[in-house]
């Protein structure tokens, strides 16, 4: 009489290695995501390196997803729950439920205005492409940072003045220059004080079909958060935030050198008139993974640091990002519905 040989329950060495490899990889991939998520969750005045890393928070959704997949392969319930929670946090930040939403004034008929912004990188942006975008998108308001006299002359030669005949500009050769071009009447209101780059404020009067709307526009250019200048970066954003708190139809447009993942930028949005949130048009459009910088130079994961921020009574639509040769920033465009009055 014969008996079958007992089946060994001992795992093969290769199986044991796989059972250890998957959870280890899941932990290693999720660890930097978790660390940066702590920095993102706590609105503190973090040092420069952390502030710069926070700019890339939207891209954490990729390693968070990879960690979740590895935890499933590892067949560890606790690890799967942990990485799933980490993934959920990334998705919440990528598509935030608490972002500002426009609350149009139904008593005042809106006036449509398409606005476009560009940091021209010391005036090197392709003038012909700028004018083409203005023409094809029906842009009625163009703001430029790092504006130079050479760029101003090239834009004039390409026919920009026929499309946007009103101009308030102060070109320089050091990156501090600015310009606002408009198809509508506008007047200078002032400048934001104590900022290394110019942040002029203009009042634009838009008239269409007998309806008039007034929009106060700040052409924003905050200092980048690098080395010892991070204090000035915070000061610039705080100064712009004080504009956000003023009543009226307001557009803060330009190169903020900040993303939605910086507490300083979110504080600016939170400080709208009457305690209401300002609206970052790009975030409201679900376009947080569409970068505006860098368009040239080192191949980094792109981030959105150029914004159109409106007071809550202004609705935004048609948000778009356009690459322009010669500059490391993209142009951002959106159509605004500005309440009359």
Does 149 score more than 60 pLDDT? yes
Q: Which of 132, 226, 223, 218 is nearest to 178 (CA)?
A: 218
Q: How big is the chain, counted in residues?
A: 341
190-213 per-position pLDDT tens digit: 999 999 999 999 999 999 888 999
**Cβ count near 282 (within 10 Å):** 25
Angle at the Cα of 334 (from 332 to 340), degrees rounded to 5? 140
Which pTM does this prediction carry? 0.92
| DSSP secondary structure letters along 59-113 | GGHHHHHHHHHHHHHHT-HHHHHHHHHHHHHHHHHHS-TTS------TTS-EEEE
pLDDT of residue 3: 45
Would you say residue 141 lies in a domain?
yes
Same domain for 89 and 129, yes or no, is no
From residue 327, alpha-carbon distances to 121, 136, 146, 214 in Å are 5, 20, 10, 31
Instruction: Return the half-sphere exposure (C-beta side, CA atoms, 13 A cut-off) of residue 184.
Output: 23
Give the DSSP H/E element, type plus range, for residue 117.
Answer: strand 110-119
* Number of domains, the chain: 2
| Same domain, yes or no: 250 and 301 | yes
Is 188 contained in some domain? yes
For the stretch 83-138, pLDDT in tens is: 999 999 999 999 998 787 777 766 778 999 999 999 999 999 999 999 999 999 99
Tell me the three state secondary structure of residue 33. helix
Sheet holding 178-182, edge to edge: 166-170, 178-182, 141-145, 110-119, 331-339, 315-322
**80 plus 134 within the same structural domain:** no
In-domain check, residue 299: yes
d(CA 149, CA 155): 10
Domain match, 17 and 156 both: no
Is residue 314 in some structural domain? yes
* Residue at token pair 């809106």: 110
Label residue 87 exposed, middle or buried (CB < 10 Å: 0-12, 13-18, 19+).
buried
Same domain, 172 and 290: yes
Q: Which residue has the higher pLDDT, 296 or 278?
A: 278
5 inside domain: no
At 102 the pLDDT is 78
Mean pLDDT, rounded, of the chain: 92
CATH of residue 139's domain is: 3.60.10.10
Question: What confidence score (pLDDT) does residue 7 get?
Answer: 47
- Those residues whose C-beta lies under 8 Å from the C-beta of residue 313, and which sit 6 or more positions away, are 102, 103, 104, 105, 249, 339
The pair of structure tokens assigned to 163 is 């499309």
Q: CB-hemisphere CA count at 13 Å for 167? A: 17
pLDDT value of residue 12: 52
Looking at residue 340, what DSSP letter applies?
P
Which residues constitute the domain of residue 23?
13-94
Among 182, 221, 223, which residue's Cα sits nearest to residue 205? 182
The tokens describing 220, both together, are 């924003």
Nearest-angstrom CA–CA distance, 338 and 284: 17
């Amino acid at each position: 009489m014969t008996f079958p040989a007992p089946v060994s329950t001992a795992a093969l060495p290769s199986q044991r290695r796989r059972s250890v490899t998957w959870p280890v990889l899941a932990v290693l991939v999720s660890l930097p995501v978790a660390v940066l998520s702590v920095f993102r969750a706590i609105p503190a005045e973090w040092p420069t390196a952390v502030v710069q890393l926070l700019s890339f928070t939207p891209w954490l959704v990729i390693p968070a997803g990879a960690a979740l997949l590895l935890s499933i392969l590892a067949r560890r319930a606790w690890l799967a729950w942990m990485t799933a929670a980490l993934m959920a946090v990334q998705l919440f930040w990528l598509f935030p439920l608490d972002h500002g939403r426009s609350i149009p004034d139904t008593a005042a008929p809106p006036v449509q205005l398409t606005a476009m912004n560009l940091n021209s990188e010391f005036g090197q942006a392709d003038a012909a492409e700028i004018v083409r975008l203005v023409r094809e998108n029906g842009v009625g308001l163009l703001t430029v940072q790092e504006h130079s006299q050479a760029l101003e002359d090239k834009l004039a030669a390409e026919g920009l003045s026929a499309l946007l005949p009103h101009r308030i500009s102060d070109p320089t050769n050091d990156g501090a220059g600015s310009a606002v071009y408009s198809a509508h009447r506008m007047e200078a209101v002032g400048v934001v004080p104590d900022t290394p780059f110019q942040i002029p404020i203009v009042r634009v009067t838009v008239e269409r079909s007998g309806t008039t709307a007034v929009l106060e526009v700040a052409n924003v250019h905050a200092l980048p958060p690098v080395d010892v200048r991070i204090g000035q970066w915070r000061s610039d954003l705080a100064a712009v935030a004080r504009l956000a708190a003023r009543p009226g139809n307001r557009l803060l447009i330009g190169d903020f050198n900040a993303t939605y993942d910086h507490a300083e930028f979110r504080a600016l949005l939170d400080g709208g008139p009457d305690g209401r949130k300002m609206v970052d048009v790009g975030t409201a459009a679900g376009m947080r993974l569409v970068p505006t910088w860098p368009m040239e130079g080192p191949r980094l994961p792109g981030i959105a640091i150029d914004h159109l921020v409106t007071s809550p009574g202004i609705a935004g639509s048609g948000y778009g990002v356009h690459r322009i040769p010669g500059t490391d920033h993209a142009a951002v465009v959106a159509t605004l519905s500005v309440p009359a009055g």
